[in-house]
Amino acid sequence: MPKMKTHKGAAKRFRFTGTGKIVQSQGRKGHFRRRKAGRLLQQLDKLKETHTGNHRMVGVALPYGPKHGR
């Protein structure tokens, strides 16, 4: 059976923690940064956990990560 391919766009956006959670970086920080508060920009730098409804999609796109609903 051939190897499964990793979706490279998803590999750049999602990470797996050591406990198996899926995390992603937050948006809203690409442009118009001057009108946003500094504290908000600091909060947006943190990783956030991906919604459970997206775990299956991420699991299909990243077949060599932890198993999530496959």
Average per-residue pLDDT in the chain? 93
Q: pLDDT by residue (tens digit) across 17-48?
A: 999 999 999 999 999 999 999 999 999 999 99
Q: Does domain 8-61 have CATH number 3.40.50.300?
A: no
Domain residue spans of the chain: 8-61
Q: Which backbone phi and psi does 19 adopt, to 5 degrees?
A: -90, 0
Please check whether residue 63 is in contact with residue 14, taking contact to mean a CB–CB distance below 8 angstroms.
Answer: no
Q: Label residue 68 by pLDDT band (50, 70, 90).
A: low
Strands (E), 1-70: 14-16, 22-25, 47-49
Q: Which residue is it, tokens 């990470």?
A: 15
Please tell me the predicted confidence (pLDDT) of residue 70: 53
Map residue 59 onto helix, strand or coil: helix
